[in-house]
Amino acid sequence: MKKVWFITGSSSGLGRSLTEAVLAQGNIVVATARDTHKNIDLQLKYEDQMLSLTLDVTNEAQIKQVIEETTERLGRIDVLVNNAGFGITGATEAFTDEQVRSQYQANLLGPVNICRAVLPHMRTQRSGRILNISSIGGRITSVGLSIYQSAKFGLSGFSEALAKEVKPLGIKVTAVEPGGIKTNWAGASMGFAKPVEGYETTVDTRVEAFKSGHFVPAGDPLKVARVIIDMVAHPEPPVHLVLGSDAAGILDQVNQSREAEYQQWLPVTLSTDSDH
């Protein structure tokens, strides 16, 4: 039976690779993007399998409209992939109010609102798969990415809580947490704060790595897309799925450091219980 996939940010990067791979398998894709013209070639090739809809994930009214149109025309949504988002780099104090707002709206509030709009339909079906594309930056932190990564921390945490909430309804939720992928995340789609004095050896080095092209991600978007497709077919998918050797290496180091700190301060942790 063909599944109906709803994919955000389908016009570039991982979203585009995933959209192509799902269509090639014969499934139906609701391919959403701010600029649907970038998917015209796919629309022509898969006209009977693809519904191309304009969606800005920061627009709540548009989210509701697009979900309603999808269910009216196709009858169901089997798989939701919250992929749309973008990064921004800089010192925390240097980000503008708009830059901070846009990060949380696109990378956290957008996926949350889309889940809220899709869940009533999946609840009625008593089935569904939700894959929220987070990041290894939703498990660990690094210099210059405080706002982006805090949004991804929120998305990974939301995904874990939601997975527990909807499991009895036959709905599975996975936070996909990749390391670097060979897309334009660190290139054309990356935003930057204005430089601030004092961060020359920390934030500025990260900014330079991105702007110079010295940051070379290891992840293959096609391989990531295949893994996501496999997750949809798996009867018991993980709640957190870390992808990439870079992500695994960093996470191992951070977990060891966190455990050491926890053990060091455990006596203090246990000292705050009430005597009564």
Rounded Cα–Cα distance for residues 194 and 206 (Å): 13
In-domain check, residue 216:
yes
In-domain check, residue 253:
no
In-domain check, residue 266:
no
Catalytic status, residue 134: yes
In-domain check, residue 149:
yes
SS3 267: helix
Domain of 197 in residue numbering reads as 4-245
In-domain check, residue 118:
yes
In-domain check, residue 262:
no
Catalytic status, residue 10: no
Query: Based on the structure, what is the number of domains in the chain?
Result: 1
In-domain check, residue 28:
yes
Q: Which is catalytic among the residues 11, 46, 146, 148?
A: 148
Rounded Cα–Cα distance for residues 160 and 147 (Å): 20
Say how many residues make up the chain. Answer: 276
pLDDT in the model for residue 186? 60
Catalytic status, residue 102: no
What does the CA dihedral 37, 41, 47, 50 come to, rounded to 10 degrees? -60
CATH code, 85 = 3.40.50.720
pLDDT in the model for residue 183? 79
pLDDT in the model for residue 218? 84
How many CB atoms within 10 Å of residue 111?
Answer: 27
pLDDT in the model for residue 181? 92
Rounded Cα–Cα distance for residues 16 and 67 (Å): 20
pLDDT in the model for residue 103? 97
pLDDT tens readout for residues 154-190: 999 999 999 999 999 999 999 999 999 987 776 677 9
Q: What's this model's pTM, rounded to 2 decimal places?
A: 0.95
Report, as ranges of residue numbers, the positions in the chain whose pLDDT lies below 70: 186-187
Q: Which is catalytic among the residues 17, 134, 135, 159?
A: 134
pLDDT in the model for residue 213? 80
In-domain check, residue 256:
no
pLDDT in the model for residue 1? 81
How many CB atoms within 10 Å of residue 176?
Answer: 26
How many CB atoms within 10 Å of residue 199?
Answer: 20
Q: Which is catalytic among the residues 46, 152, 172, 199?
A: 152
pLDDT in the model for residue 184? 72
